């Protein structure tokens, strides 16, 4: 990790590039010394890293839990470059994907296995510097080995798929049940795939944009309905042969929650997958009480969901060509963020080819 400067006996530390987000209009590359892995850590050379909805949300200053400036990159695939002491069975050259939830391991939630809602949860690449860089360090227990035969692009979709897998698991057994997915962005589309895999028989997806509805149909939705149609409830009931047993709200705004309450069957389940705006969002408490509705939040995932996502990708369940719509070089991270805010794009990736 060190190189000798010409004519200077002192060692100089290698510089790496790292994306710095100050705002959506100010995304630059900073040059910083290469990190050195500590005990139980790996030094990883990034290969591919996804731009997440939470990244563009944060860059716009709208994410309730990511402050600016920040250094993004939590959907990361890389190769181990060096290992710290006690970094387990990893060796240089191993291909890994990051599981970015950094948890304490000792709070009540962690001890019950729900470390995704650790009392002191931090997310790698959200509250700590991430992987949109040449090299990063991470605890060895926060990465998974990429299965043999899985491409880097496929591996980059494991993390984004793990969130829908966890959300779908929240809804219990979906076998034979009807589902509405509100929003056909990356999380909505991956929720569609995860719900289908979990046994849902009828799935309707809603979105205001026709291009996104068509993509949902290509990915196997039974119906794709305009989210802003006045007759949305009637259309959804027709498509699903009645109200939906489960709603996945991947939009999480006042309008989508109102629709969720109208679209769900009495006694049904609304899972809030999208990140809501900071502050209060009005909901129909009278209907929630009267119809015995259950509203449940869902955050990230745990190891089991991550492994399920990995096996879904490995089995070819996800058509990566429909999900990955653009790829940019690290130097063009600002363009990658701009593309990611364009609703015609689904998942935008950044590739890193070394400094
Ligand atoms: Zn993400
Ligand atoms: Zn904890």
Q: Are 36 and 43 in contact (CB under 8 A)?
A: yes
Whole-number pLDDT of residue 105: 97
One domain for residues 66 and 111: yes
Q: How far is the CA of 52 from the centre of ligand 1 (A)?
A: 4
Q: Cβ of 176: how many Cβ atoms within 10 Å?
A: 10
- The predicted structure's pLDDT at residue 278: 82
- 136 CB-near residues (< 8 Å, 6+ apart): 35, 43, 44, 46, 73, 76, 78, 129, 130
Note the ligand closest to the C-alpha atom of 106: 2
Across all residues in the chain, what is the average pLDDT? Answer: 94
* Owning domain of residue 243: 164-297
Distance 166 CA to ligand 2 centre (A): 18
Instruction: Give every CB contact of residue 285 below 8 A, 6+ residues apart in sequence.
Output: none
Give, to the nearest 10 degrees, the angle between helix 186-197 and helix 158-170. 60
Distance 74 CA to ligand 1 centre (A): 6
Mean pLDDT score, 324-350: 96
| Same domain membership, residue 121 and residue 171 | no
Give ion ligand 2 contacts, CB < 5 A.
Answer: 103-104, 107, 110, 118
Please give the pLDDT value at position 138. Answer: 98
Confidence label for 355 from pLDDT (cuts 50, 70 and 90): low
pTM for the model: 0.93
Residues 181 and 280 in one domain: yes
CATH of the domain at 97: 3.90.180.10
Ligand nearest to the CA of 66: 1
Which pLDDT belongs to residue 212?
96
pLDDT for the residue numbered 12: 60
Q: How far is the CA of 186 from the centre of ligand 1 (A)?
A: 10
* Ligand 2 center from residue 113 Cα (angstroms): 9
pLDDT value for 353: 86
- For 182-195, the pLDDT digits (tens) are 999 999 999 999 99
User: Over 90: is that where the pLDDT of 88 sits?
Assistant: no
Verify that 169 and 45 share a domain, yes or no. Answer: no
Q: What is the mean pLDDT of residues 220-229?
A: 97
Read off the CATH number of the domain in which 270 is found. 3.40.50.720
The ligand placed nearest to the CA atom of residue 114 is 2
Q: How far is the CA of 232 from the centre of ligand 1 (A)?
A: 29
* Shared-domain flag, residues 235 and 280: yes
pLDDT at 9 over 60: no
Distance 269 CA to ligand 1 centre (A): 24
Residue 334 φ then ψ, to 5°: -60, -40
Residue 10 has pLDDT above 50, yes or no: no
CA of 272 to the centre of ligand 2 (A): 22
pLDDT of residue 238: 98
Taking a C-beta distance cutoff of 8 angstroms, is the pair 8, 348 a contact? no
Distance between Cα 108 and ligand 2 center (Å): 7
pLDDT at residue 4, as a whole number: 37
- DSSP code, position 35: P
The percentage of residues in the chain with a pLDDT greater than 90, rounded to a whole number, is 92
Distance 56 CA to ligand 1 centre (A): 10
Name the domain count of the chain: 2
Q: How far is CA 322 from CA 135, 193, 347, in A?
A: 29, 12, 9
Q: Please write the tens of the pLDDT for every residue from 248-305.
A: 999 999 999 999 999 999 999 999 999 988 889 999 999 999 999 999 999 999 999 9
Which of 237, 225, 229 is CA-nearest to residue 178? 237
Residue 6 clears pLDDT 60, i.e. is over it: no
Task: Identify the CA nearest to 204 among candidates 182, 234, 177, 185.
Answer: 182
As a whole number of angstroms, the distance between CA 264 and CA 288 comes to: 10
Query: Is 90 exceeded by the pLDDT of residue 3?
Result: no
pLDDT at 11: 52
Examine residue 305 and state whether it is found in any structural domain, yes or no: no
Sequence-ordered list of residues with C-beta below 8 angstroms from that of 281, at least 6 positions apart, any chain: 252, 253, 254, 257
Question: Do 12 and 149 sit in the same domain of this protein?
Answer: yes
Q: Is residue 55 part of a domain?
A: yes
**Do 218 and 125 fall into the same domain?**
no
pLDDT tens digits for 195-217? Answer: 999 999 999 999 999 999 999 99
**198 lies in some domain:** yes
């Amino acid at each position: 990790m060190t190189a000798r400067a010409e004519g200077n006996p002192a060692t100089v530390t290698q510089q790496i590039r790292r994306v710095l987000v100050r705002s959506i209009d100010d995304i630059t590359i900073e040059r910083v010394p290469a990190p050195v892995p500590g005990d139980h850590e790996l030094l990883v050379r990034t290969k591919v890293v996804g731009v997440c909805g939470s990244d563009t949300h944060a860059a716009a200053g709208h994410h309730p839990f990511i402050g600016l400036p920040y250094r993004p990159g939590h959907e990361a695939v890389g190769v181990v470059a060096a290992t710290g002491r006690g970094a387990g069975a990893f060796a240089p050259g191993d291909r890994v994907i990051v599981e970015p939830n950094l948890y304490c391991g000792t709070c009540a939630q962690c001890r019950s296995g729900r470390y995704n809602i650790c009392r002191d949860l931090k997310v790698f690449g959200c509250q700590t510097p991430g992987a949109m860089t040449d090299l990063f360090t991470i605890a060895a227990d926060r990465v998974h080995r990429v299965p043999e035969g899985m491409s880097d692009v496929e591996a980059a979709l494991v993390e984004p798929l793990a969130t829908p897998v966890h959300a779908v698991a929240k809804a219990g057994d979906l076998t034979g049940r009807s589902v509405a997915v509100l929003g056909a962005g990356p999380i909505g589309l991956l929720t569609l795939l995860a719900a289908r895999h979990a046994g849902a028989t009828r799935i309707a997806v809603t979105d205001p944009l026709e291009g996104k509805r068509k993509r949902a149909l290509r990915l196997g939705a039974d119906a794709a309905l305009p989210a802003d149609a006045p007759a949305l409830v009637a259309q959804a009931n027709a498509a699903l042969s009645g109200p939906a047993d489960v709603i996945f709200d991947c939009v999480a705004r006042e309008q989508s929650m109102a629709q969720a309450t109208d679209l769900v069957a009495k006694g049904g389940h609304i899972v809030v997958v999208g990140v809501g705006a900071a502050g209060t969002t009005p909901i129909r408490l009278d209907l929630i009480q009267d119809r015995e509705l259950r509203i449940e939040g869902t955050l990230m995932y745990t190891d089991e969901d991550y492994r399920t996502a990995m096996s879904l990708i490995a089995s070819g369940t996800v058509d990566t060509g429909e999900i990955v719509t653009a790829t940019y070089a690290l130097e063009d991270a600002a363009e990658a963020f701009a593309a990611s805010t364009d609703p015609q794009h689904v998942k935008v990736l950044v590739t890193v080819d070394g400094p």
